[in-house]
């Protein structure tokens, strides 16, 4: 029986941050799965999908329960005779579930963070809804979190890492650090994070105070909200304040990672860590906290350094260790790229999702 899948996902990110998800769709299509994608209007991936022969519709839900989008998705299910509905975000999940009411179709959702809780009634509208057949978790830590929820059946979750390829980043041009008034000989620490408490940015800024000025270390922190007053005030209290650069949102922020001496993820909680994977692809050594999926990415002391969360001094010590040991930095960067190829490779992701969809097809009457 032909596997037909409707994917509902916004695809409203930049090319570098959305390429992994897009390549999964491409890979499944190349394996013979008939796929169409419902995405946001003016998505940068529309032409990408059209060029590889995948139908796209600019009808992504604008609300959690979007009546117009619900009707459109339901019509697409019926017209395409789809057997699987793959939903990757909150609006897609709530609207997709409503659209599939009463239809013989399997629903698969994607979970990339530890943000679902059984005591939150809205969880019953998304991943914990009884109509959901499978939840793809982007890390073992996320799967463990979902299985701990009282209303989550144990047989619905599966960990499938969102894979990457180092080749995707081979032409990334590092940002010119002179634009940030950073000396060419500086040791550059980069962190990308949209501001949320769980990202632990305060601990990274505080880590700067444990670094000597003579070390010539510069901290570059970018992402939505990183330039807000709260962080600016914290920066002003640091003895290394002139070496802390809070950039806010930056387009194609992966270029910052490419210019880094080391990438640091100071999270309190983390599903997996897309920016860490990007750093790995670029051969940049990483320092991460022992927060959730971060430790799954890192082969401790071989491809990166793992430090305790909420410990600025430990972050600073790891930075100094890598600054003082260029051979270690090089070897960790090399091992990180190998780890992408061997464990977090896009081909592995596609093969596992292809098998999952095939298994779900066997359950359809």
Query: Would you say 275 and 282 are in contact if contact means Cβ atoms under 8 Å apart?
Result: no
Q: What is the DSSP track for 203-245?
A: HHHHHGGGS-GGG-EEEEEESTTTTSHHHHHHHHTSTTGGGEE
Alpha-carbon gap, residue 298 to 323, rounded angstroms: 19
CA angle 272-30-59, nearest 5°? 70
Q: What fold is seen in the domain 167-342?
A: Rossmann fold (3.40.50)
Percent of the chain's residues with pLDDT above 70? 99
The SS3 of residue 69 is helix
Q: What fold is seen in the domain 4-163+345-362?
A: Rossmann fold (3.40.50)
Judged against a pLDDT cut of 70, whether residue 239 lies above it is answered with yes
The per-residue pLDDT for range 201-223, each reduced to its tens digit, is: 999 999 999 999 999 999 999 99
The owner of tokens 């990483």 is: 286
The per-residue pLDDT for range 4-57, each reduced to its tens digit, is: 999 999 999 887 778 999 999 999 999 999 999 999 999 999 999 999 999 999
Judged against a pLDDT cut of 90, whether residue 76 lies above it is answered with yes
The per-residue pLDDT for range 266-296, each reduced to its tens digit, is: 999 998 999 999 999 999 999 999 998 899 9
Task: State the DSSP code for 4.
Answer: E
**What pLDDT is attached to residue 362?**
82
Residue 139 pLDDT level (bands cut at 50, 70, 90) = very high
Closest of 254, 174, 264 to residue 217, by C-alpha = 264
Residue ranges of domains in the chain: 4-163+345-362, 167-342
The SS3 of residue 154 is helix
β-bridge mates for residue 190, sequence order: 220, 263
Alpha-carbon gap, residue 178 to 174, rounded angstroms: 11
**What pLDDT is attached to residue 81?**
95
**E-strand spans in the chain?**
4-8, 34-38, 55-57, 84-87, 106-111, 134-137, 157-159, 187-192, 217-222, 244-248, 262-265, 286-289, 304-307
**What pLDDT is attached to residue 365?**
53
* pTM listed for this prediction: 0.93
Average pLDDT over residues 312-336: 97
Closest of 164, 184, 162 to residue 175, by C-alpha = 184
Judged against a pLDDT cut of 80, whether residue 59 lies above it is answered with yes
Average pLDDT score, the chain: 93
Judged against a pLDDT cut of 60, whether residue 245 lies above it is answered with yes
Token duo for residue 164: 């990457």
Alpha-carbon gap, residue 318 to 161, rounded angstroms: 27
| Common-topology check for domains 4-163+345-362 and 167-342 | yes
């Amino acid at each position: 029986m032909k596997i037909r899948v409707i994917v509902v996902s916004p695809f409203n990110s930049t090319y570098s941050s959305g390429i992994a998800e897009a390549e999964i769709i491409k890979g499944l299509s190349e394996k013979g799965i008939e796929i169409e994608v419902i995405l946001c209007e003016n998505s940068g991936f529309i032409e990408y999908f059209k060029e590889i022969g995948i139908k796209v519709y600019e009808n992504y839900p604008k609300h959690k329960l979007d009546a117009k989008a619900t009707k459109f998705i339901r019509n697409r299910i019926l017209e395409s005779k789809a057997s699987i509905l793959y939903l990757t975000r909150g609006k897609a999940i709530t609207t997709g579930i409503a659209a599939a009411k009463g239809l013989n179709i399997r629903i698969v959702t994607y979970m990339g963070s530890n943000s679902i809780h059984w005591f939150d009634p809205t969880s019953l509208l998304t991943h914990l809804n009884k109509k959901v057949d499978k939840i793809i978790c982007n890390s073992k830590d996320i799967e463990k979190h979902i299985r701990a929820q009282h209303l989550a059946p144990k047989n619905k979750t599966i960990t499938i890492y969102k894979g990457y390829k180092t080749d995707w980043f081979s032409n990334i041009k590092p940002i010119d650090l002179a634009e940030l008034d950073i000396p060419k000989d500086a040791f550059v620490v980069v962190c990308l994070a949209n501001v949320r408490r769980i990202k632990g940015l305060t601990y990274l800024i505080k880590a700067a105070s444990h670094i000597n000025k003579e070390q010539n270390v510069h901290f570059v922190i970018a992402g939505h909200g990183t330039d807000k007053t709260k962080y600016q005030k914290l920066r002003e209290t640091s003895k290394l304040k002139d070496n802390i650069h809070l950039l806010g949102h930056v387009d194609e922020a992966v270029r910052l990672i490419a210019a880094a001496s080391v990438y640091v993820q100071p999270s309190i909680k983390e599903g997996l860590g897309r920016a860490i994977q990007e750093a790995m692809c670029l051969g940049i050594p990483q320092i991460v906290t022992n927060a959730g999926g971060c430790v799954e990415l890192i082969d401790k002391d071989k491809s990166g350094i793992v430090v305790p969360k909420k410990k600025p001094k430990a972050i600073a010590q790891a930075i100094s260790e890598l600054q003082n040991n260029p051979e270690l930095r090089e070897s960790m960067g090399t091992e990180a790229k190998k780890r992408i190829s061997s464990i977090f490779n896009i081909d592995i992701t596609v093969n596992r999702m292809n098998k999952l969809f095939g298994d779900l097809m066997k359950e359809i009457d």
